[in-house]
Amino acid sequence: MKSKKNQKRLTAKTIVHIVSGSIAAYKAGDVVTKLREAGARVLCILTPSARHFVTPLVLRALSGERVYDDFFSVDSEHSVIHTELAQSADLILVSPASADFMAHLAAGFAGDLASCTVLAATVPVVVVPAMNDQMLNHPATARNLKILRGFGYHWVPPVVGHLVCGKEAVGHIASDDAIVAAVSNLLGA
């Protein structure tokens, strides 16, 4: 059994967890659960394509918090939602990070709540790629990752695992424990 010290190493920390549109989004609930077990408050943002893989209801049940996916929610308690979410965070976690979302971040696009929140952030950003190995190895993805690292973003590299195309290759999302450990290490927990 884990000690209470280990279980609560992220107490009083707020993580904004951005879930982008990758099949690996199904793992987001496990990451949310482990972050909460470590004591963190987890606020989730879904990109439009992420909603095809995981529902706001699931993440709300696991996080105990409202799930955000739209700038224009009339029932939002925030007046400027993306900056307020960014300012409330101790860390931004993009997990999974699809090739598309990484490209948007690298180019500085601000067309949705998730990308605007990252652009407004002054806290550490952790990117956790998950995609087909050919997409991961494409020069554009390598360039985008280099740009993101140049911004000071951190990353948890993908691992060899089962990909949706049916083969075993690098591109599978890192383990939940590796993701939580990276968050904990960055926050000095």
Please give the helix or strand (H or E) that residue 159 lies within, else none: strand 159-162
Return the bridge partners of 172, or none.
159
Report the candidate in 106, 108, 113 with the shortest Cα–Cα distance to residue 127. 106
Burial of 89 by CB count in 10 Å (0-12 exposed, 13-18 middle, 19+ buried)?
buried
Count of C-beta atoms within a 10 Å radius of residue 134: 12
Catalytic residue among 61, 140, 160, 165: 165
Return the bridge partners of 97, or none.
129
Catalytic site includes residue 165: yes
Measure the CA–CA gap between 38 and 6, rounded to whole angstroms. Answer: 7
Measure the CA–CA gap between 187 and 189, rounded to whole angstroms. Answer: 5
Give catalytic residues, as residue numbers.
Answer: 165
